[in-house]
Structures are given as C-alpha cells and as structure tokens.
C-alpha cells in the first residue's frame, strides 16, 4: 500500500479485507454527505484491474450500524435470489458485499467505525438531474425494488432511523419546535406555520391507513432519489438500486412520494423565486407509469389509490422538516447560507399547494394505470 492510500484509508481497514495484492488507485467517490465512500482499483499480476467500493458508515447518522448491516445482508441475499429466479444478473442488479479476511460482512475499526467492501458494478452511470426518460426509468427500478421484496417479512427488519417517514411524528416534532421557539424565529415564519397547522389532519392520512390495515407494511428504500439508481452506461436502462442504509419497514407510497417531491419539478430545492417553482404533472404521470410497471402488479388497489397521498405527504413532510430545523437553529440539514432551510421549506409548500390544486388529475392519473 503506498502513501496516498494510507492517507485516505486506515491501514488496519485495508488489510482487513482480502484485496488483490497490487493496489493501483484510491479515490473518494459519490455525492453522499453521510458515509465515507472510496473507489479502490486493484490489480493481481497479469489480470485485468478490479474495482471495489469501500464505505465507512457515519456514526453520527446511524446509531446501530450492526443492525443496519444485518438488514443489508438479509435484503441483498433476498434480492440476489429473486433476481436470479427472474433470469437477471445478481452481480449487476444488486449490491454484493466482499466479506472480511475472517469471513465477516463488515469490519469494525479501532475507532468503532463500521467499514464494508462492495463489488463495483462496472459500466454504469449515476445522474443528479432527470430527463423525463431517466425519471421514468428510475421509477421502474424503485417499483421493481417493491416487486422483488414483496414477500420479504418487513417487520423483521430494524428501523435504522426510527419513525423516519411517520408524518404524524414529524408534525409533533414541528409543534414542539414551534412551542420552544429556541431561536426566536417563529414570529417571522407565521405564513409557513399557518400552512402546516392547516394541514395537521393530512399528516395522519397514511398512518391511519396503516393502522387500519388498508395499507400493508412493506420493505421500503426511503431515499428514492434519482442518484440512488445505477444506469447501464450503454443502454441507459436502470440497473441497480443503491444506498440501502435507510431500507426498513415502511409504506410503498413513501418511496413513490419521496421520488416525486424531489424529482417532479424543475427548480432548485432552495429556489427563492417561487414563481419558478411548480409541480410538473407530466413528470408525475411518467413516474407513476414507470413505478407501477416495475412493481408488476405487486401493489394492492389501495396502495395505487393512495399514491397521490404519498406524493403530497412526502412533500409536506419534507417542508415541515426544513421548517422545524430552521426553528431549531439549522442543526440537522447542512446549510450553506442563512435562511436556506426556510427557502427549502417554501419550495416544498409551493409544490404541496400545486398538488392540492391538481388533486383530481393526480388521482385520475394514478387510477388510469389499473
Ligand atoms: C436528506 O442527505 P440526503 O440528500 O440523502 C434526507 C431526506 C430528505 C432530503 C432533502 C437521512 O437526504 O430524507 O428528503 O435530505 N435524508 C435523511 O433534500 O434525513
Ligand atoms: Mg442518502
């Protein structure tokens, strides 16, 4: 191992995994802000170079990395079996761990950080910005993720971040932050506060449906952004869903809605000119089409009917989380400038208002793919 590799990766971590003898290159990779991610290129004598992804999990984001890794091992094993049975290539269509030299799925460093090694999926690309076609392709991948995991016992997975998309709990966190008003910012955000208070009942729609058994508990990804899908470089087909760290029990409409709030518009998340922010119903239609196609009939009628609520609730929830963080002094979401969380909140609420206006069309679209 040369000096460059030593600087980036603790030597004890490098020797914990059975990497080929010659190590050619180490580079940071990905746009994630949570984990430490490196791409390693190795080369055994006379053999083609092989690439790996080495990741050190963030101790700040994940309190129980061993539970997270237990989920990871079980989910990817299930995906491998299903992909194989479906005639696919499990080495390209899901993530594959490389065990440590002692056969463990991960290595715990001297400082307690958990490290894992993954096979690199060659000839793939990742996108940060959507074209309608890529957006629909990503929907197919996340819908297929639902299909592949349809018979996995969701309740046996650990919650890696408890109550992550429980919108009722998010409302309560907002109400507590408003009451405490720790930074004295509540007075200036009254329009946003009123926007949330007027939608308190909405926050219970999905959780009520879950409690009443109308929506089933599923294995959900919970971070269904476009850049969490690998696309085949040549065909531009969605190939592999990545970033499984928040995969846990949840509702299928959360995965659907999380993609819509992030992707079905053309503005920056913190756009200050709200005239530029609008919900794109055509992108919503394309995503719905791709998602249901990928899910291959595995979603129930009720889940299909609740898809528009998934979009509306994930958007409202995200705006509420930005507002809560603003009230609490910007402690959770990284900000680059003052009031960024407030601007982010406003774009989400503008999108919610747009969705409320075209609510009937959103429902018609969801029901048109029966
Ligand atoms: C966070 O860090 P990133 O961009 O993957 C957040 C999501 C929000 C998103 C809003 C673990 O995601 O839930 O939708 O910001 N992830 C976590 O930009 O809180
Ligand atoms: Mg993420």
What is the model's pLDDT at position 61?
Answer: 84
Q: How many residues does the chain have?
A: 370
Minimum-distance ligand to the CA of 35? 2
User: What per-residue confidence (pLDDT) applies to 130?
Assistant: 84
- pLDDT of the residue at 303: 98
CA gyration radius, the chain: 21
Q: How many CB atoms lie within 10 A of CB 317?
A: 28
46: left (phi over 0), alpha (psi -120 to 50) or beta: left
**DSSP assignment letter at 241:** E
Q: According to the model, what pLDDT value does residue 33 have?
A: 65
DSSP state of 9: S
Give 127-176 as a DSSP string: -SS--HHHHHHHHHHHHHHHHHTTTS-GGGS--SSTTTT-HHHHHHHHHH
Tell how far the Cα of 74 is from the centroid of ligand 1, in angstroms. 24
CATH number of 132-366: 3.90.1200.10
Mean pLDDT in runs of 10 for the chain (370 residues)?
66 91 82 82 85 93 94 98 97 98 96 96 92 97 98 97 96 98 98 98 98 98 95 97 96 98 93 97 98 97 98 98 97 92 98 98 93
> Which residue has 């119903």 as its token pair?
281
Domains of the chain by residue range: 3-122, 132-366
Could you tell me which of 229, 295, 217 has the C-alpha nearest to residue 256? 295
Ligand nearest to the CA of 160: 1
Per-residue pLDDT, 334: 83
Q: How far is CA 24 from CA 3, 18, 45, 48, 56, in A?
A: 12, 15, 12, 12, 20
| Rounded CA separation 281/223 (Å) | 21
Rounded to the nearest angstrom, the distance between the alpha carbon of 261 and the centre of ligand 2 is 15
Side-chain-side CA neighbours of 131 within 13 Å: the count stands at 4
Domain 3-122 maps to which CATH number in 3.90.1150.10, 3.30.200.20, 3.30.420.10, 3.40.50.300? Answer: 3.30.200.20
Mutate to test the pocket of ligand 1, among 161, 223, 263 (most ligand atoms within 8 A of CB): 223
pLDDT of residue 5: 59
d(CA 205, CA 306): 9
Calculate the CA 67 to chain-centre distance: 18
Closest residue by Cα to atom 17, ligand 1, is 223
Shortest CA distance to 319 belongs to which of 341, 339, 334?
341
pLDDT attached to residue 4 = 60
């Amino acid at each position: 191992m040369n000096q460059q590799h030593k600087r980036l990766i603790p030597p004890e971590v490098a020797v914990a995994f059975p990497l080929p003898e010659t190590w050619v290159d180490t580079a940071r990779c990905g746009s994630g802000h949570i984990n430490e991610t490196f791409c390693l290129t190795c080369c055994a004598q006379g053999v083609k170079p092989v690439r790996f992804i080495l990741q050190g999990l963030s101790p700040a984001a994940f309190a129980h990395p061993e539970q997270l890794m237990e989920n990871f091992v079980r989910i990817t094993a299930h995906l491998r079996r299903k992909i194989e049975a479906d005639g696919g290539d499990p080495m390209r269509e899901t993530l594959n761990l490389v065990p440590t030299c002692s056969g463990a799925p991960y290595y715990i460093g001297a400082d307690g950080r958990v490290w894992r090694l993954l096979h690199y999926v060659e000839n793939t690309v990742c996108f940060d910005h959507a074209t309608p076609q890529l957006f629909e392709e990503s929907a197919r991948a996340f819908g297929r993720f639902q299909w592949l995991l349809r018979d996995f016992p969701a309740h046996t997975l650990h919650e890696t971040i408890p109550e992550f998309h429980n919108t009722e709990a998010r409302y309560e966190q907002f109400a507590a932050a408003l009451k405490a008003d720790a930074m004295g910012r509540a007075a200036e955000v009254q329009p946003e506060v009123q926007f949330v208070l007027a939608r308190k009942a909405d926050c219970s729609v999905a959780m009520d449906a879950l409690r009443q058994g109308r929506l089933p508990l599923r294995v959900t990804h919970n971070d269904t952004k476009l850049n969490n899908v690998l696309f085949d470089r040549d065909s531009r087909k969605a190939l592999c869903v990545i970033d499984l760290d928040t995969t846990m029990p949840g509702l299928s409409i959360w995965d659907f809605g999380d993609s819509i709030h992030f992707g079905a518009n053309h503005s920056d998340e913190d756009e200050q000119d709200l005239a530029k922010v609008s919900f794109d119903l055509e992108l919503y239609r394309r995503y719905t089409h791709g998602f249901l196609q990928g899910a291959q009939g595995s979603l129930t009628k009720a889940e299909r009917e609740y898809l528009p609520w998934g979009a509306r609730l994930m958007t409202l929830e995200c705006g509420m989380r930005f507002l809560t963080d603003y009230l609490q002094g910007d402690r959770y979401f990284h900000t680059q400038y003052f009031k960024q969380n407030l601007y982010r909140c406003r774009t989400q609420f503008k999108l919610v208002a747009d969705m409320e206006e075209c609510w009937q069309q959103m429902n018609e679209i969801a029901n048109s793919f029966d």
